Structure 1
């Protein structure tokens, strides 16, 4: 049994919160470069150039990549041979988010009483935390700063089994088309297929942690990702919705078995500023 102090968890989450909001991942920067090479619209290429400059200047000037520093979504993959000491694990994650957003001078966007008072909590807590028990004696912490522009475009489709593959494609393309420029394209399209309603939504969100453009290990799924990407990029929405040939940089699909009478399909869009960091303890 390996022991990990919860204070280490809090310190790590705080660091990830700052890094995610100030430093765009190298995989995303490469994807933006490929998008510029593929974009046929002069205005679209100009916009993509500004994204690249923003990614370069943000850490240099110590400015957030985007003014919407998002909901802190934290994924904890916990080895079953790990024992946490020194306090409550969830409280440590909350403290890490609070500390990271305060020390990093990041915008506080969380409100309590969402359907009445909507009073800002003042420290961007609580985060959304997803736990998963895995083999081993390590803990992987992934923090995603999820802005509302893209998150508000999330969709869940409870399809009929007969809708099959074509239904999945139509659901994804419809979601991107209806989002237009609201999700700050070029986007990454996260898709969860199967399981139940909530399981498919979580799979769609988890898929956004994959390196941008890394295909599924399943050949059939990888082919579906490419077909949806091609269809989406024929919509003509383009960078920031101002027209162009690159509306999405990638499509990531994760799937689960499901009930014989169900075909849940969840679509979660991520904006071009796909901010997340992870560490293995």
Structure 2
């Protein structure tokens, strides 16, 4: 018989507050390593110089404890919650209060409007965009992934025909990158969702961005497709910030799920070179 573990909502609040600051001021190790490799391998002088400037920005942000990007984004909060966990208090209120405190404490830009058409800023970057996944056991893992609008606006979803197959998926991903051009501040990172339903596919694409770039898809077929797409995107020649070069994309992560026999949903969630996320156990 399992024992129920109780977590005070205040612990969730405090963790979210800290993660909002960490995610906005420190690049994840896997993304930094990918940027380092790209800089070392980039053959085009202007592109190499641009990557060096991006690296300087990261160093200044770390030294001064400042945001690595002026767009400190929507606070996308992912909670992997064990089924044997009881949260004492309101989870939603705790997450929003954590975001409010983190963004105010670190003087992070507040970018959330209370209504999509009336455009009145909420003033504290709430509400957060919370996704909860239930898991076996008594664990509780929080991830905060701030998402800026420059890359989010370039994201797309398509309901392909099953007959379009693998080539159709490749064509859609590359078309999305070409249409985006320099708008998402390349080098970019792509999260690709394949399968599920219309709404589930978009969630898969965002979930894919949470996977470290040095962890390929567990299925060899999709791992090979990730590598193939990465090579094809970098062959477009857009390069860092659109100035040309061999470094348009740092990594492609695919998440796939079963789907209806008559469907082939594909979603691309785009992120820039400052793909931000920070996690901790609570």
Q: Same fold (TM over 0.5)?
A: yes
Q: Secondary structure at the match of 2:195?
A: strand
User: What is the alpha-carbon distance in structure 2 between the residues aligned to residue 201 and residue 280 of structure 1?
Assistant: 26
- Aligned mate of 1:84, from 83, 87, 92: 87
User: What is the alpha-carbon distance in structure 2 between the residues aligned to residue 217 and residue 52 of structure 1?
Assistant: 31
Task: Report how many aligned residue pairs link the two structures.
Answer: 279
Q: Is 1:9 aligned to residue 38 of structure 2? A: no
User: What is the alpha-carbon distance in structure 1 between the residues aligned to residue 162 and residue 210 of structure 2?
Assistant: 28
User: What is the alpha-carbon distance in structure 2 between the residues aligned to residue 227 and residue 149 of structure 1?
Assistant: 25
Contact between 1:213 and 1:252, CA under 8 Å: does it hold in 2? no
Report the TM-score, using the length of structure 1 for normalisation.
0.98
Aligned alpha-carbon RMSD (Å): 0.8
Q: Secondary structure at the match of 2:256?
A: strand
Contact between 1:213 and 1:249, CA under 8 Å: does it hold in 2? no
Contact between 1:48 and 1:239, CA under 8 Å: does it hold in 2? yes
Structure 2 counterpart of 1:247: 248
| Deviation >2 Å, runs of 4+ | none
- Aligned mate of 2:113, from 111, 114, 119: 111
Q: Secondary structure at the match of 1:204?
A: helix
- Aligned mate of 1:60, from 23, 41, 63: 63
User: What is the alpha-carbon distance in structure 2 between the residues aligned to residue 173 and residue 136 of structure 1?
Assistant: 40
Structure 1 counterpart of 2:205: 204
Contact between 1:23 and 1:58, CA under 8 Å: does it hold in 2? yes
Deviation at 1:23, TM superposition (A): 0.9
Deviation at 1:59, TM superposition (A): 2.2
User: What is the alpha-carbon distance in structure 1 between the residues aligned to residue 191 and residue 5 of structure 2?
Assistant: 34
Give ranges in structure 1 of 5+ residues lacking alignment. Answer: none
Q: Is 1:217 aligned to residue 229 of structure 2? A: no
Contact between 1:74 and 1:130, CA under 8 Å: does it hold in 2? yes
User: What is the alpha-carbon distance in structure 2 between the residues aligned to residue 58 and residue 272 of structure 1?
Assistant: 14
| CA deviation map 1:41-91 (0-9, x unaligned) | 111111111111211220211211011000000001100000011x21111
Q: Secondary structure at the match of 1:246?
A: coil
Structure 2 counterpart of 1:150: 151
Q: Secondary structure at the match of 1:181?
A: coil
Q: Is 1:39 aligned to residue 42 of structure 2? A: yes
